[in-house]
Chains A and B, each alone.
Chain A
Amino acid sequence: MGQTLAEKILQNHTDEQVTGAGQIVQCKVDMVLANDITAPLAIKSFKAMGAKKVFDRDKISLVCDHFTPNKDIDSAEQVKVVRDFAEEMGVTHYYECGEVGVEHALLPEKGIVGPGYVVIGADSHTCTYGGLGAFATGMGSTDVGAGMALGETWFKVPPTIRVNLTGTPGKYVGAKDFVLNQIGILGVSGALYKALEYGGEVVDNMTIEGRMTIANMAIEAGGKVGLFPVDQKTLDYSSKAGFKGGELMTPDADAVYERVVDIDVTGMAPQVACPHLPDNVKPVDETAGLKIHQAVIGSCTNGRIEDMREAAEVLKGRKVDPKVRCIILPATPSIWKACMQEGLMEIFMDAGCIVGPPTCGPCLGGHMGILAGGERAISTTNRNFKGRMGSLESEVFLSNPAVAAASAVAGEIINPAKL
């Protein structure tokens, strides 16, 4: 019987025969990840398990990206716990200070994760690496603590929903719009416990960064992973980043899918997810005219260089509405540097944007962009849950970087084509 991408990767990491959805298999893991919020609990569990050392110091990544630069004494103490543990265990991939970036942008960029890997992370957006053809999934801290000690974990083999993306997208329409549209179709629990697998001509033509944007939001439909095939483009991206290994991978022609969803992107408008769930998706023109107080361009969804370029293209020669805080957070130091070298920083500053350090801060209402009651934001991040970015009486709309940038200029949600 043919195998899906999820089944193929799990098969490569277990001694058992993977027979299909629902089976529980014990798998070796290639990378275990935690951040400054989740690592302290993982470390606590790790120690409670009686573990003395990590299974492989090269296969653990600890990235202090959420409340950093530390927003208060408590968060500084949390980072200290992570730093001390990393030092004690000799963890190779520990990141803070000037080296730190948003974890899911940082790890692929540094070649720490890549095609065919099994990655578990104490962060729900670990699924981002599915864009590289990795079975990557979010877990809680204790699962990750056990993973750091044992180098293995259990998975229930997920049934797969196949999503075929076909057609030709128009201007200002891209990966973020495809995934928002798909979440709108499936609903926030439509892929609960399942794998999402992507294919079709749009995927073939898409950049690896775009694929990561889509994989990133698999969890927003309840998905366990969002998987892309490994093509030459993936291998080139990974090897350039310094990743060793990886091979071409496609699902078998007779793979068994629970459901197939066909989406023709031709004529699709930029999409916006309205409060308070990511599946409350509408074409941008249906939300046009809503006043905004803040625009956030960044995060593990849309903080990569392509996103920065997309925002800059709209902001070039324009001014952000003086009543709008337009916060731009390039997701890693190297993206920051590329923004400088390509002249994007000048465009952002001239437009009146606030350019911050790489941090997850505003996405989760952590710091550096909290909303007051009655305020509305448009954001390239991944969640618009009630109170996500601050006050319970605030609202978050999700969009692609071009829509967020255009809305910052207009002071209200707008289709960039109409700016």
Chain B
Amino acid sequence: MKVTGTAHKVGDHIDTDAIIPARFLVTTDAKELGANCMEGLEAGWVKRVKENDVMVGGVNFGCGSSREHAPISILGAGIPVVLAHSFARIFYRNGFNMGLVLLEIGDDIDKFSDTDQIEVDTASGVINNLTTGATVQAAPVPPFMQEILNAGGLVEYAKKKLA
């Protein structure tokens, strides 16, 4: 899958309360959660996002709660990919399980600024900054997680095991 969109830079240690505050956790609906995405960072944040835009986080993106509502709200906001220096562990698993593509790129994250146009090849992990011309290769996805992705996510993976 190739994704082209605007970068939205959000900084280090973006926690799950910033992504989707607890008061919105009375639903599991992706659209509703998406409408309040990053409400804990800044009121009305989601209004700047267009379909297929890319979130760019820093260190430890997604730290905090186990709430799967966090990756669901990012997807619900129309964002299919998050690039980060590093991801918090629970969020990382959740992202893959939900089909949100997460690419870890360490210090290369500094090659992306807010509002840059970014093109991401989710299969190869190659990320092009169309604004600056920079190209970055993301760390490969561990083989076992690739297996889950190939199955079509954890729901499909478990479905096969249960069959």
Decide yes or no whether B69 CB sits under 8 A from chain A: yes
Assess whether B21 is in contact with A74, with CB atoms less than 8 Å apart. no
In the complex, what residues of B have CB within 8 A of residue A419's CB? none
Closest CB-CB distance, A81 to chain B, in whole Å? 9
Closest CB-CB distance, B96 to chain A, in whole Å? 10
Set B60, B90, B143: member contacting A188, Cβ < 8 A: B60
Chain-B contact segment, one of A44-52, A163-171, A246-254, A321-329: A44-52
Set B26, B66, B98, B142: member contacting A72, Cβ < 8 A: B26
Set A75, A78, A143, A387: member contacting B21, Cβ < 8 A: A387
- Bound complex: CA of A78 vs CA of B29, how far in Å? 12
A189 with B158, Cβ < 8 A, contacts A37-B67, A139-B66 known = no
Residues of B39-82 whose CB lies within 8 A of A? 40-41, 43, 59-60, 63-69, 71-72
Closest residue to A191 on the B side, CB-wise?
B89
- Bound complex: CA of A138 vs CA of B60, how far in Å? 16
In the complex, what residues of A have CB within 8 A of residue B27's CB? 74
In the complex, what residues of B have CB within 8 A of residue A154's CB? 144
Chain-A contact segment, one of B12-20, B112-120, B123-131: B12-20
Assess whether A24 is in contact with B142, with CB atoms less than 8 Å apart. yes
Decide yes or no whether A283 CB sits under 8 A from chain B: no
- Bound complex: CA of A139 vs CA of B64, how far in Å? 11
Assess whether B94 is in contact with A140, with CB atoms less than 8 Å apart. yes
In the complex, what residues of A have CB within 8 A of residue B43's CB? 392
Assess whether A150 is in contact with B162, with CB atoms less than 8 Å apart. yes
- Bound complex: CA of A193 vs CA of B143, how far in Å? 17
Decide yes or no whether A57 CB sits under 8 A from chain B: no
**How many chain B residues touch the partner (CB < 8 A)?**
45
Assess whether A38 is in contact with B66, with CB atoms less than 8 Å apart. yes
- Bound complex: CA of A49 vs CA of B158, how far in Å? 6
- Bound complex: CA of A153 vs CA of B66, how far in Å? 16
- Bound complex: CA of A380 vs CA of B82, how far in Å? 33
Decide yes or no whether B154 CB sits under 8 A from chain A: yes
- Bound complex: CA of A216 vs CA of B143, how far in Å? 31
Decide yes or no whether B35 CB sits under 8 A from chain A: no
Closest CB-CB distance, A416 to chain B, in whole Å? 29
Of the listed residues B13, B71, B153, the one surrounded by the most CB atoms of chain A closer than 10 A to its CB is B13
Assess whether B26 is in contact with A386, with CB atoms less than 8 Å apart. no
In the complex, what residues of A have CB within 8 A of residue B155's CB? 45, 48-49, 142, 145-146
* Mask: chain A, 355-381; 1 = CB below 8 Å from B; 0 = not: 000000000111000000000000000
Hey, which bits of chain A sit against chain B, CB under 8 A? 24, 37-38, 40-41, 44-45, 48-51, 66-67, 72, 74-75, 77-78, 121-124, 126, 138-143, 145-146, 149-150, 154, 156, 188-189, 192-193, 219, 222, 224, 277, 364-366, 383, 385-388, 392
